[in-house]
Structure 1
């Protein structure tokens, strides 16, 4: 009987076999992805002109709304992202057309007609009206005819220009638009603030962020057309398109997106009150300096952003050491007699009140042990507890969960807290009735004041000079470092890269 005895393969044969298998895999891979139009990637290239929603400007508030969205998409898909900064929207669309960008974050812009088939739109996750603004030294729009008789400054945004032209079609006249090449909202606002023009047309979504720093500029009229904010991506890259469609299917209308929007914009009023802003600036300029060293010390000892502490002081007492509430709380930080006694401070002494109040706020923050709370939300919860007590905060969290939420979102608590003033809801609460609507108003006001104060510092406005007092001395060094470390533009902290557009 003949038996075939296997022999050990030679090393050369193994090398040839391995190379052949490798070539076969590469051929199959290339054929598959060529059919899908896919280009293997590790980096998502994102084109957009400089914009507040990307940069967290003007108050250097977090990483930026769009950066956090990009982080979320890239985490889901094992990518990093690179920002391709362009000067105009036309340049951003041209990069998508030439295949040099994968996504355009179209914050109110629309692609040119030539890109209509290639640029795939995602859902509109925000909409804003174009608004005509004016300096309060001049009249606003009194008659429709003034839209055609007076020059209107417009930034280089086709959607804004089209909205103005559409208004002209209704009026049977041509609005006198002055469109500047690369005219951004800041030089446009500066022009109006200097009383060098009467009208300008801006995107309300951007104007609301800047209005607190231009309190002489008011909204004169809103145009009816809404401008969508959405992403566009290259539809010829099918795997990319599918992944982005899946991401936005999950995100569109989701609690996560609503929470992110609330974090960056939920506290902004529809129209800033110029008298309130003037009073804030005057109070900070005249009353804050005498307590600056104490605020810096309290901020350093408690680990609280000194500007947040300034916002709390303004909300609580307007820096009046003799302030007394109808509920019996008093002093700079409006402490109850029981809280002051437990802290061992004299609440009528302004410096003891500041130090004790900051320490108490930190205690409330540290007592929140829910691991689902991020630090920003934890501070908002602590502020609500400072206003209505930790027991009522716990009731609001429990109610938010009963209503189907997580109990770890300030947006949810903004809905739940006011309900605790109604018997239908507070009868089942452990601590009963509370003025939950006051807690919401308290926290939202502090968020707004904090935003304004941070913006004044970030923009290096003259009004912010008085705020330097809260950073003076060695006690304020850590707080100054925290403020300086907050990025105003994209960084590589979580993988994204930054590049200039070609």
Structure 2
């Protein structure tokens, strides 16, 4: 009996030793896990979780895929880390902040402006964009030029936005300042409220207006309520700086390699190119002219394996969709074809809109096919557009000038940069076809990209809602979607 008790005591003691060792291992494992930084965890998982919300400025998904300024930028960041991108979509700004706050390895990228209030909640990265907050009003009202002009006006802003934070501070100084915050509206809703005169004032960032102003002919800018707001990404506020350090390094690199400039130009460059007069004219022609010729753009684009919106954008750049347009040099019609080009494309009457669009579509298809195979991706479209304006010979000369300047002759970024040089004697005397108006071609391609982007971003299910324009014959999408992506351009 004593031996049995002794045996069992030894066994219990042995089990306690094992449990102690096992417990120590667990504690060690927990310690190892807790010591893993946010950046290391992202790389171990192979996934970067990014919190954002659905909007034209941040992220949206359509039949052609995912896009948006924030999406395109954060996708590059994920690629730089060697991980996949996982979008964690939320409903509003407050949800972006709260989601990042509770997830140490999540990143927030949603058109976020750094404010003193939000800095108490999260850690902001270096800014990648500086934007003004603009006071927007209806053209029929007297223009507000200072904060005092907002007193007695109905003001609407997005809940949780930097504009709401600013108004809250201003109200301490101006108790009569009245405003409403809403978490069920987006920026398009804000502008529509002013357009329909349901509210007097809305406040939104300049980059937002750049993307949407063309839809609204009755909105005007009063003044900048806040200048140079820093737009940045966010991470959880803690002692782990690994993720924010990686973000800051990426933003520095994106600034130096031109990525930020290219994305900013692509998504928010319209206001500088079109201006208010141009935006108003485009909106008017979109309503009055495009529906007459839409069927031709769709038909001949399909026949030539082109995007009809690209073809329509060329037509607008060339003639503002005017089939009777005639230039002083003799080019005519909606697509402004020369007599020789029209004949080569089988166009008998350049002033017939259907024939003109058919000829333009065939020409663009031929030019695109003729682009060197060394030119890849969407650059092929840019090269074809440049050739449409200046001819293939002059374009080849510009590529030669790029080579002479130790630049890549097959990259649109480099060719676009040297286009103006072909008008300078120093350079056009060194190439085969001589002088050409390169700056004009540079502007030609730039404008078409703008018109194409606008046609793409303008969801045609929203078209009637936002501008009262007739609906085009393309599949309708929900209010939270935009039509075709800008992946082509």
Q: TM-score range by the shorter chain?
A: 0.7 to 0.9
Q: What are the residue-to-residue correspondences of 1:217-296 with 2, within 5 Å?
A: 217-234=219-236, 236-269=239-272, 271-273=275-277, 274-284=279-289, 288-289=291-292, 291-296=293-298
Residues 1:97 and 1:418: Cα distance change in structure 2 (over 3 Å) = same
Structure-1 residue corresponding to 2:144 = 141
Structure-2 residue corresponding to 1:181 = 182
Q: Do the aligned residues in 1 keep the contact of 2:100 with 2:106 (CA within 8 Å)?
A: yes
CA distance in structure 1 between the partners assigned to 2:457 and 2:135 by the alignment: 24
Structure-2 residue corresponding to 1:14 = none
Residues 1:167 and 1:34: Cα distance change in structure 2 (over 3 Å) = closer
Structure-2 residue corresponding to 1:35 = 35
Match of 1:248, SS? helix
Match of 2:434, SS? coil
Q: Do the aligned residues in 2 keep the contact of 1:58 with 1:459 (CA within 8 Å)?
A: no
Deviations 1:438-483 (A, max 9, x none): 2233223322332333344444323554632xx6xxxxxxxx79x9
Q: What are the residue-to-residue correspondences of 1:377-392 with 2, within 5 Å?
A: 377-392=379-394
Q: Structure 1: state its 5+ residue gaps.
A: 1-22, 472-479, 494-502
Structure-2 residue corresponding to 1:76 = 80
Deviations 1:296-318 (A, max 9, x none): 33111111111222222232233
Structure-1 residue corresponding to 2:445 = 443
CA distance in structure 1 between the partners assigned to 2:118 and 2:435 by the alignment: 61
**Among 23, 39, 48, which residue is 1:44 paired with?**
48
CA distance in structure 2 between the partners assigned to 1:224 and 1:114 by the alignment: 16
Q: Deviation at 1:359?
A: 0.8
Structure-1 residue corresponding to 2:336 = 334
Q: Do the aligned residues in 2 keep the contact of 1:130 with 1:163 (CA within 8 Å)?
A: no
Match of 1:321, SS? coil
Q: Do the aligned residues in 1 keep the contact of 2:154 with 2:178 (CA within 8 Å)?
A: yes
Structure-1 residue corresponding to 2:89 = 85
Q: Deviation at 1:408?
A: 5.0
Q: Deviation at 1:100?
A: 6.3
CA distance in structure 2 between the partners assigned to 1:279 and 1:97 by the alignment: 46
The higher relative CO (CA closer than 8 Å, separation ≥ 6) is in 1
Residues 1:282 and 1:108: Cα distance change in structure 2 (over 3 Å) = same
Match of 2:385, SS? helix
Q: Deviation at 1:284?
A: 2.2
Q: TM-score under structure 1 normalisation?
A: 0.77
Q: Deviation at 1:385?
A: 1.3
1:55 matches 2:56: no
Q: Do the aligned residues in 2 keep the contact of 1:426 with 1:432 (CA within 8 Å)?
A: yes
1:102 matches 2:106: yes
Residues 1:304 and 1:201: Cα distance change in structure 2 (over 3 Å) = same
Match of 1:396, SS? helix
Deviations 1:394-440 (A, max 9, x none): 33344445556544554544442233333344333432221222223
**Among 357, 374, 377, which residue is 1:374 paired with?**
377
Residues 1:420 and 1:175: Cα distance change in structure 2 (over 3 Å) = farther
Structure-2 residue corresponding to 1:306 = 308
Q: Do the aligned residues in 2 keep the contact of 1:96 with 1:102 (CA within 8 Å)?
A: yes
Q: Structure 2: state its 5+ residue gaps.
A: 1-22
**Among 123, 128, 139, which residue is 2:126 paired with?**
123
CA distance in structure 2 between the partners assigned to 1:206 and 1:41 by the alignment: 34
Match of 1:467, SS? coil
